[in-house]
Structure 1
Amino acid sequence: MRQSGGPRLVERVRGLAAGGERVLIGIAGCPGAGKSTLAGRLATELTAAGLPAVWVPMDGFHLADVALERLGRLRRKGAIDTFDGHGYLALLRRLRHETGTIVYAPSFDRDLEQPIAGAIAVPPEARVVVSEGNYLLSGEEPWPEVRAAMTEVWYADLDDRVRLERLTKRHVRFGKTPEQAVRWVAEVDEPNAAAIRATRASADLHVDIDALALSP
């Protein structure tokens, strides 16, 4: 199913929340597709509509650079094995069922390019948690269990030309030279994107990011 309107997305989540349980919405997609922008906007609009929501990014489970250096994976940071998938799964299970107390989640600081532990508070009154990440639909362990822990997983669709332009500019904005950014996109981001794109058909919903006119 394909959907583009912001209000329709809010109403879809409202329907999922009608049963009273906390709803976990995952947003998958290729690097630069607008997942974070969509997640932040959705959480804001849900809260404004009377469904308190918190955005908890999967990027908080990036392995720190010191760990990536030790594992020899620093030069391909962002690949599926540079995340703590099991840690992310454990948090999602807590968020789904531990609704009587505050649950703290990590964030990701793009200036530092490092995860920040305990930076996001998810209070008991949060009815919805919105999370986004590249690999939410992957068939590699433990990602099928991640998918099962979520109420729905959506896929963010964006024209590749626009996506690559935004992605390259983002790398430059956070410290790479234009040449380094182009090389990183070609050698790291796009091989990851190919694997992510192959999971697209299994999403519960396809969201047209162009139609939403989201600013990165």
Structure 2
Amino acid sequence: MEDLARRASELVADGRRRLLGIAGLPASGKGRIAEQLLARLEDRAVLVPMDGFHLAGAELRRLGRQHRKGAPDTFDAAGYVALLRRLRAAEDEVVYAPEFRREVEESYAGAIAVPREVPLVITEGNYLLLGQGVWGHVRGLLDECWFLEPDDRQRVNRLIGRHMRYGMSRRQATEWVYRSDERNAELVATTRNAADLVIPGDPT
């Protein structure tokens, strides 16, 4: 973890705005690694997760996609790309980003403030390296992107446990993981080679 923090710090050694992406399969530990980087970089970094661009539950139901929440087409990818462009330009005094809250399974607009003087924006999510459609614009907006590759059995167990913490039974959680999350994981795994750095195991 210290090596990763050093690498992130070197990205902004000149004080200019940089964007660092952390990609990986569902429950690979992206958010946990991002939070640990924040703790080490303190006021030099802000975290803006991709998950803030989940489509609202009402919209997913309208589209008939509520049972595949988390798939690439269940996000506002264009909105995410537009935000990354604003963050990269660093022209506004403050840019506000949305935040996804699992306890209600919805996003809150304007929940994350990114002041212009903060040099490093860390963004994490499944599809940062996906070269399809609008998602294909994300990679070019990142100065670096890392890919997390933990033990697959531990990752799936974490996924099941996460769903259970937010109200599913073990049977429901297991069904959701293998019907939806793991289909997404298969797609994300194909993007591994586009990363600047592949991190095996658990760097913590």
Sort the TM-score into its range (normalised by shorter chain): over 0.9
- Please tell me whether the aligned partners of residues 83 and 97 of structure 2 are also in contact (alpha carbons under 8 angstroms): yes
User: Which whole-Å CA distance do the structure 2 matches of 1:100 and 1:84 have between them?
Assistant: 22
Encode CA deviations 1:44-73: one digit per residue, 9 max, x unaligned.
2112xxx61111110000000011011110
Aligned AA for 2:203? A
Match of 1:169 among 154, 161, 164: 161
C-alpha distance 18-211 of structure 1, shift in aligned 2 (>3 A): closer
TM-score (norm 2): 0.96
Which secondary structure state, in structure 2, belongs to the residue aligned with residue 201 of structure 1?
helix
Larger deviation, residues 159-168 vs 140-149: 140-149
Q: Hey, what's the Cα distance between the residues in 2 that align with 1:118 and 1:81?
A: 22
Query: Which of these residues, 15, 18, 41, is aligned with residue 36 of structure 2?
Result: 41
SS at match of 1:211: coil
Distance (whole Å) between structure 1 residues aligned to residue 129 and residue 196 of structure 2: 10
Matched, 1:138 2:130: yes
- CA offsets 1:145-204 (integer angstroms, 9 cap, x no match): 111111111101110010001110000001111110000000000011001011111111
Instruction: Tell whether the 8 Å contact from 2:160 to 2:170 is kept in structure 1 after alignment.
Output: yes
**2:55, 2:71 → 1: CA distance?**
11
Q: Is the 8 A contact 1:105 1:121 kept in 2?
A: yes
Mapping of 1:59-98 within 5 angstroms?
59-98=51-90
Hey, what's the Cα distance between the residues in 2 that align with 1:127 and 1:104?
15
Q: Which residue of 2 aligns with 1:16?
A: 11
1:1-216 aligned at under 5 Å gives the runs 6-47=1-42, 52-212=44-204
Q: Distance in 1 between matches of 2:201 and 2:56?
A: 30
Q: How many percent of aligned residue pairs carry the same amino acid?
A: 50
- Cα drift, residue 209 of structure 1: 4.4
1:156 is paired with a residue whose SS is strand
TM-score (normalised: structure 1): 0.91
Gaps of 5+ in 2: none
How far the C-alpha of 1:99 sits from its partner, in A, is 4.2
SS, match of residue 195 in structure 1: helix
Task: Report the 3-state secondary structure (helix = DSSP H, G, I; strand = E; otherwise coil) of the residue aligned with 1:18.
Answer: coil
CA drift of 1:109 comes to 0.6
Aligned length: 204
- The farther-off stretch of 92-101 and 66-75 is 92-101
AA partner of residue 140 (structure 2): A
Distance 1:115-1:33 versus aligned 2 partners, 3 A rule = same
Segments of 5+ residues of structure 1 without an aligned counterpart are: 1-5
Alpha-carbon distance between aligned partners in 1 of 2:134 and 2:63, rounded to the nearest angstrom: 19
Cα displacement (A) at 1:98: 2.4
Instruction: Please state whether the residue corresponding to 1:143 is helix, strand or coil.
Output: helix
Q: Distance in 1 between matches of 2:180 and 2:137?
A: 25
